[in-house]
Each structure stands twice: as C-alpha cells, then as structure tokens.
Amino acid sequence: MAGGFTSAVVIHSHSSLLLFLPLFLLLLLLFSPSNATSITSLFSPPVNYLIDCGSSTQTLLQDGRTFRSDRDSSSLLSTDEDIQTSVDSINLNASSSVPPTSLPLFNSARIFTDESTYTFYISKMGRLWVRLYFFPLPHPSYNLTQAVFTVQTDRFVLLHDFSITDNTSFVFKEYLLNVSDSRFSLKFLPKKKSLAFINGIEVVTAPDPLILDTAISVFPPGNFHGIFNYALQVCYRVNVGGPPMAPNRDPLLRSWETDASYNVFPQGSQNVSVSTKIIKYPQNGEVTPLIAPSSVYSSAMVMKDPKVNQPNFNLSWRMNADQSFSYLIRLHFCDIVSQNLSQLYFNVYLNEMMGAASLDLSSETKALATAFYQDFVLNSSAITNGSILVQVGPANLQQGIPNAILNGFEVIKMSNMANSLDGFFSVDGKYKGPNANTLALKVAAAIGLGFSMTAMFLVAVICFRWRQRPHGWESKDSFSSWLLPIQSTHPGSLCSALSKSSSRRSSIFGSRKSRSGYSGYLTPTGIGRFFPFDELRKATNNFVEKAVIGVGGFGKVYLGTLEDGTKVAIKRGNPSSEQGINEFRTEIDMLSKLRHRHLVSLMGFCDENSEMILVYEYMANGPFRSHLYGSNLPPLSWKQRLEICIGSARGLHYLHTGAAQSIIHRDVKTTNILLDENLVAKVADFGLSKANPEKTHVSTAVKGSFGYLDPQYFRSQQLTEKSDVYSFGVVLMEVLCARPVLDPTLPREQVNLADWALQQHRRGMLYKIIDPRIADTIACGSLNKFVEAAEKCLEDNGADRPTMGDVLWNLEYALQLQEAVSKIDTNEDTTANSIALEQANESGEKGDHSGTQATEESDVTDVDSMMLSQIAHFEGR
Ligand SMILES: *[C@@H]1O[C@H](CO)[C@@H](O)[C@H](O)[C@H]1NC(C)=O
Ligand SMILES: *[C@@H]1O[C@H](CO)[C@@H](O)[C@H](O)[C@H]1NC(C)=O
C-alpha cells in the first residue's frame, strides 16, 4: 500500500499501535461527519481538475470545492467551436444518485457540433475518478434533448450514442479509470448531424488502495484477478440503513444514497445505527476511512425480530444491471449489533449464488464495530434478468443468534472486451462484440457451403454463439492449442507449491480467506505448480514472436524451454477477454480433476501481473490433423491411425466415465488431439468442457466447431456425452479420408465430410474416398469394423449412438483385425508401414494394449470369438 495518503495508512505501516493510539483517537474524532472540512482533507488528490463547462465564472459548491470555468482553461479544451449555454438557476428534483451539492454545475453547458477533446495533464498515474455531469439545458438554436454522442478516452468508451431526451433529468456518471500516461483526454463525438454537450467534469486522483486487483469470483467460483485492467463505472453506492450522504461527508467526495429504493423486502428489515465514534478501522490498515467513512459503517439493515425461531428469509436489494457486462460488487459490513464476538453468522448471496458462506465478521475483524468490506465479481453470464440481487441471510448453523447485516454496497460495472462501458463499439468505432468479424462471413459461408443442415439452423446457432462465445470457431480451428502435456508429477507437492504461491501473492482476500469460514467457496485450483512470470519470460525469450506455435481466441501459444531444458508449451491468455478468463478457469478446473495417459495434463500456471498463462508439456508431434492433411508430414499408417484413435477414445471414455462427474468435452476434433514424440494421442483443450453431474443432459447454448457439431445438440441444445461421440465419429471419417471436415471448394454434396462419407458408404462407394496413400494397406475386416463404428457414432439420434466405451472396443477390434492380417501377410513392405516413425514406435505401443485386449499372438479366429460379446453389446445400442 503506498503510504502517505492518509494518516490511517501511516498508522498501519507502523506495527506499534500503542504509540499512535492518541493520534488514532484524534483521527476518529476528525472522521466524525459533522466535521466536513477535516474529513475531506484526509486525502488530497495530486490530480484534481474540477471544471464547470460553459460557465463564464468559477463555481463554488456547498461541499467546499471550486469548479473552474473551461473558458479560463482553454488549453485543456481543443475544439473548433465555442458554444455555451447557461441559465441563472434550475430548480428540479435530482435523482438520488446525483450528488446534491453538485446542482449549480448543471446551470451551464458547453455544446459541440464536432469532435472536441478535453486534455488533462496527469502528474500521478493510477486510478482516476472521472465524473461527468449532464443536463440538456435550453439553447436558442440547439436542442440538447436531441443530442446523440459518444464520450471516450484514448482507450475506453464511456458512453456510446448517449442521449438525454428528458429535459427534467440531471445525469451524473462516475468512472474509475486506471491511467498510465501523463496525458488523459476525454473526447466528445457527436453522432452525424447531431450534437454533444457537457455541463461539468471532474478528473481527480483516487487513492491506490481503493480498488485492488483481486476479488472473489462468485461465478465461476474462485478468485478473480486483473481488475487493474478494467475501466470501471460506479453505478450504485448505497449507505444501507443510513441517511443519504453528500460528497462533503466522504473523504473522496463520493455521494451515498439510501437503500430505500432497492430494498426488496422492507417489511422484513429494520435499520440500526450507532454513533460514528464507536466505529473502528482494523489495525492492519486493510480498511481505512478512504474505503468508506464511518458513517457508512455506523448504520445498517438487520433482520426484523431476529429472535424468531425459524428465520426463513433473506434481506434483499435489487438494482438494475446491464446484462452484457460483468460487475464488481463491494459489500460493506460492520457488526454494530452483537453484544459479544462470534454471535453473528450469515450467508451472502449475489444473484442467488453463494458469495460467502457463514461469514463471521468477528473472525475477520477480531473486534465488534470494526469496518470490513468484501469485493465480489459477478460475471455477465450470471446476470440473467437485467438485475443484480444482493442478499444476506442467517447461516444455517446452530451457533449464534440468527440474523444478518449489511452496512453498505457499491455496484461497479466493468469494461467489456471492446474496452467499453456502454455497448460493444471500441474507441475506433469498430464493433468488437461477440463474434464481431466473423458473423457476416459465417452466414455467407454457411449458406454457400450447402451445409447439410438448413440455413435456419445455422443462423440460430450463430445467434447462440454470438451471445455465448466471443471468439469464433474459425479461430479455434486454426488454433492448435497444442500444447499439452505430460502427466503432472507430484500432485501433493504441486498443491502445496500452489498454496504457498497464492499466499505469497495474497491480496487481502487471500489472507482473509484462510482465516475465514467461507474458504470452501473459493475453489482451490489444486493443480500444477505456480510459475513465476519471470521464469516464463525467460523460457520464451521474452515471448518472442518466433516462439509462437499457435494462435487462437484465447491468445498465443509459445514453445518455451525451462531452465532445466524441459520443453513446454505456454498458452498466454489475453486478460481483457472475459471469455478467455472463463476458458482459462474451465481448463484449470477440468484439468485439476483429471489424470489420464490420454488427456493432456497441465504442468502449472501463472496468474502474476494479471497474466493468464497455462503451462503444458510440449507435445512434440503437434496436432493429429497435421499428420492427416494440409502439411508435408509423411502419412501415418493405418495401424498408427487406429492407435491414435484408440488413445483419444480412451481419453474421452475416461472423461465421460472416469471422474467423479461425467465431463463432456464439447470440442472434439483433430486439432484438439495432440501427439507426443511417440505419437501417443492426448485429448486437449478443455476450455469448453462441461461437467454433467446428473449424467443425463445439460441444457446449454450450442458450442463447438462446425463440421463436428452434433445435429441433435444443435436442435435441442441438450448436451450429452453422445455429442462428443458424434464429433468423434467425424474425427474417424477424417482419419479415414484425410480431408477437412468442411471443404467449401468441393462440389456441394461433398462439402461436409460426415454427410458425404455416410452417403458414399450407403452407395457402397466409400472405398473411393479413402486416403489413397494408405487405401490398399487397410485390411478389409479392419476397415469394415472401423466404418461401422464411425457410422454408429454419426447416428442422428444421440440415443442410437454407442458410448465411447463401445467405440473403443470396436476400434480395438479393428486394430486386432489389422494386426492379424499383417501377420499372415508376408508382403508387408507397404509404403506406409515403412515410415520410420512407426518403427520407432512399435515396441512402446504394444505395452499400451496388453491387458485390454487379446494378446498379440491371438490368431484371427480367437480374436473374432473374443470380440463377439462386445459386438453384440455394441449393436444392441
Ligand atoms: C494500473 O494498471 C497497471 C497495469 O496496467 C498496474 O500495474 C497498476 O498497478 C494499476 N494501478 C492502479 C492504481 O490500478
Ligand atoms: C436466501 O437466498 C438464497 C439465494 O437466493 C436462497 O438459496 C436461500 O434459500 C434464501 N434463504 C432463505 C432462508 O430464504
């Protein structure tokens, strides 16, 4: 924490509190809200621009601040015009979120008909408050209620096509922007033939400790890192159970509303308040009056009649929210009701999801009447009906008195992937919403493709994807998320390394977490070791472009060499992509539950400096697809292909059945099957995976890759393991025919491989499209078994498809048939079989099959009889 902002901070940096006790008490007195000048002097901002736009004179507000006219400070404003308007006074009722002392700022406005920019010199970089005041004043020639305009900084869009059509409403917008340049500009861009206007601007330093980089992620559960990278907009700041507070009662000149208009069940709640003088701030300095003044902590809502035997409700507050954004939600707590420590245990819910379970303020603060706050991040996907619901309710424990408390909250919007806080257009005016560039292309391509499903389905899918998945399947396809990995070594020591590293990096949340009772909700991602960012930087030569071995929606994949010479694949995510964060988490979550020879495994990760980096063992032979077509690699023999298919089928079978929960991969394709130096197959990329706890089906928006998508999932959005089976059937056809699953350059009926292969098979002409390089080396029985498996996988109806276990048996059988024939066949020197790779591989591979199948020595008849029961099983599906 950068010292010096406040005396309170100074106290915390000295461990001996006793020495400073008199000073501390003095400060407590100063914090009393009646003493307005002293509370606002707790923090004096190094950057402090206060501008009353369009005013001819400076304006003194009741909160003691003077706003300069922007006529005096012409150097700040670059514009080709000089249009102002003002009225002597306006007398309208401002909404409760407008700071009451700010009304004089609305008396004048500056009007722009063309792009205009205010530029501010920033002497201290870091978070800035940017506060904007708007009111459509009358003007003889310009009608401000018809103004439509955009307001943006160099990086972030604050308002897009913004307008105020109601000439009775004051509008106040408050942002927190992390500025790392000595110049900061605010650009006003009128829409074509329209206007822009502004009544007042503040650009003021916010203290560094105000917003930390980490919060608890409510959904998906875990820790959220990287808040520094977001622009923030404060939407609600509420003093629960207390009075509204004007800026002069807050050291950072924030205004606080009452909770009356958000309280969903006022009958069940009652407000309590104590003297601000008894409110303490913790000695460790984690919470200071800069976080919130004591007048926020000295009042609260609690449950009415808390002594009822069966408390069966929550205290609830509902606020509007824009559901395409994620929100940072700060809750302020202070136990001003308990007589003794550890009497108050309650749960905190955000949008009906557990945020903190059995929160015990006593164990957080070790004292009563002591300020405490907790930050939560609510992912946009968890904001479903356009609102945020904050709830606190008694924990279901036998201890303590059933009650719950909330003293204040702030609801803060986080910028999205377009670096915008309003819509999906970035500062260069480009649409950067989900699937931005690919949408139009897709529709055209899809229709042109003669994709076997109707164009309507495609549009439907595109719509789902538009909502769900910012990076297109196209980029996924080109992306060999190649990486992957080796079996991780010592899970035990890895876990402890992880926890060590997280406590080393601990934010105040990290340290609180271990002390508090709700750590159960912070899913520990117990896998892999923590890699310091520096180590990875060295391993990749500072992430040099030359080291890039793959690029995808998530970010780039680098080949790195660790100090001990181990080669690793390093997947470096783009932290500003929200979707990336989700997939990063999903991948860690999934891989932490899974261990299998045929699944890629993670070596570790790095989330230092808000990086999202996953480290896998390097898979020397890259994606399976590049060994099938589209590269100069020698063709794999039929036996090698079968073995790779068997390996991947094993991996998927394990996913579906081996872990505690059934897991559906959702993106099975040849680029997600990676090969190590011995051509052992490992299934990779769990970014889209989903657990299926009920083992029935999961209802979800359609994700996956075109060409591999299960048509039934497509129609019903009901995801089951059988969707992976379908995709795997497509993989089998791809392996057999060695061509892309979608090839728009081919005649219409051939574009989609799965359809084309099935069609050819029905006509008895499948042999015509088999990879010509190996066609005559495939034993007939083996081919039949293989095609039979592929065909079953591609059944339209999921229930008719085999399980991965069944597929696995059939592939094993196909392999046995091939090997049996090879043994009989003495003219075995086919081109494919002479590939050096296979030779090198031969011995190792045998071990893999022993024990699961008939021995290598079995003759054909034995194999046949052995497999009969399996076939019966298979066909029974
Ligand atoms: C601003 O962002 C940079 C990274 O871009 C970070 O290092 C810095 O700590 C941030 N500062 C604040 C106050 O958020
Ligand atoms: C409080 O709210 C949560 C989430 O909405 C809900 O699961 C829980 O049952 C509620 N508690 C009571 C006592 O109604």
pLDDT value of residue 477 = 27
**Is residue 471 classed as helix, strand or coil in its secondary structure?**
coil
Which atom of ligand 2 is nearest to 347's Cα?
1
What's the whole-number mean pLDDT along residues 89-109? 81
Written as six digits, the tokens of 105 are: 């700022």
Per-residue pLDDT tens digits for 344-360 = 889 999 999 999 888 88
pLDDT value of residue 523 = 27
Nearest-CA neighbor of 296 among 329, 254, 264?
254
The DSSP 8-state label assigned to residue 396 in this structure reads S
In terms of DSSP bridges, do strands 66-69 and 48-52 run parallel, antiparallel, or are they unpaired?
Answer: parallel
pLDDT value of residue 73 = 60
129, 180, 229: residue to mutate for ligand 1 pocket, most atoms within 8 A of CB: 180
Residue in this structure with the two tokens 């696995």, named with its chain if needed: 808
Residue with the larger pLDDT of the pair 64 and 90:
64
Q: How far is the CA of 560 from the centre of ligand 1 (A)?
A: 27
pLDDT greater than 60 at residue 489:
no
350, 388 contact by CB (below 8 A): yes
Question: SS3 string of 40-78?
Answer: HCCCCCCCEEEEECCCCCCEECCCCCEEEECCCCHHHEE
pLDDT value of residue 656 = 87
Q: Answer yes or no: 685 catalytic.
A: no
Which numbered ligand comes closest to the C-alpha of 125?
Answer: 1
Per-residue pLDDT tens digits for 201-224 = 999 999 999 999 999 999 778 889
Nearest-CA neighbor of 793 among 680, 708, 872, 864?
708
Q: How far is the CA of 514 from the centre of ligand 1 (A)?
A: 26
Per-position b or e across 486-514, b if 16+ CB within 10 A of its CB: bebeeeeebbebbeebbeeeebbbbebbe
Written as six digits, the tokens of 360 are: 């015990």
Neighbour tally for 20: CB within 10 Å = 17
Per-residue pLDDT tens digits for 8-66 = 322 233 333 333 434 443 333 333 344 444 566 688 899 999 999 998 888 999 888 99
pLDDT greater than 50 at residue 609:
yes
Please state which of the ranges 79-93, 122-136, 209-223, 510-524 shows the lowest mean pLDDT. Answer: 510-524
Distance in angstroms (rounded) separating the CA atoms of residues 777 and 680: 21
Per-residue pLDDT tens digits for 568-595 = 899 887 766 666 677 777 777 777 667 7
Share of the chain above pLDDT 90, in %: 41
Which numbered ligand comes closest to the C-alpha of 176?
Answer: 1
pLDDT value of residue 499 = 33
Please state which of the ranges 290-304, 456-470, 813-827 shows the lowest mean pLDDT. Answer: 456-470
347, 349, 354, 384: residue to mutate for ligand 2 pocket, most atoms within 8 A of CB: 349
407, 240 contact by CB (below 8 A): yes
pLDDT value of residue 576 = 65
Residue with the larger pLDDT of the pair 563 and 36:
563
Neighbour tally for 796: CB within 10 Å = 11
pLDDT value of residue 487 = 24
What's the whole-number mean pLDDT along residues 156-177? 93
Is the peptide bond prior to 802 cis by the omega test (within 30 degrees of 0)? no
Which numbered ligand comes closest to the C-alpha of 611?
Answer: 1
Ligand 1 neighbours (beta carbon < 6 A)? 126-127, 178, 180, 208, 228
pLDDT value of residue 579 = 62
What's the whole-number mean pLDDT along residues 239-250? 93
Residue with the larger pLDDT of the pair 44 and 604:
44
The pTM assigned to this predicted structure is: 0.53
> Cα dist. 320→215, 232, 317, 365, 385 in Å?
21, 16, 10, 31, 9
pLDDT greater than 50 at residue 642:
yes
Selecting among 667, 710, 724, 771, the annotated active-site residue is 667
Question: SS3 string of 754-793?
Answer: HHHHHHHHHCCCHHHHCCCCCHHHCCHHHHHHHHHHHHHH
Q: How confident is the model at residue 698 (pLDDT cuts 50, 70, 90)?
A: low
pLDDT value of residue 720 = 85
760, 734 contact by CB (below 8 A): no
What's the whole-number mean pLDDT along residues 725-736? 96
Q: How far is the CA of 264 from the centre of ligand 2 (A)?
A: 13
The DSSP 8-state label assigned to residue 344 in this structure reads -
Distance in angstroms (rounded) separating the CA atoms of residues 135 and 679: 68
- What sign for the dihedral angle of Cα 605, 611, 612, 616? negative
Give the 3-state secondary structure percentages of the chain, helix then strand then coil, rounded to 5.
35, 25, 40
Per-residue pLDDT tens digits for 762-811 = 998 998 999 999 999 999 999 999 999 999 999 999 999 999 999 998 99
| Mean predicted lDDT score pLDDT of the chain | 77
What's the whole-number mean pLDDT along residues 702-719? 76
Per-residue pLDDT tens digits for 292-342 = 999 999 999 999 875 555 556 899 999 999 988 999 999 999 999 998 888
Q: Which residues pair with 387 in a beta bridge?
A: 320
391, 392, 396, 397: residue to mutate for ligand 2 pocket, most atoms within 8 A of CB: 391
Q: How far is the CA of 403 from the centre of ligand 2 (A)?
A: 13
Rounded (10°) CA dihedral 119, 123, 127, 133: -40
Distance in angstroms (rounded) separating the CA atoms of residues 495 and 606: 14
pLDDT value of residue 74 = 55
pLDDT value of residue 692 = 66
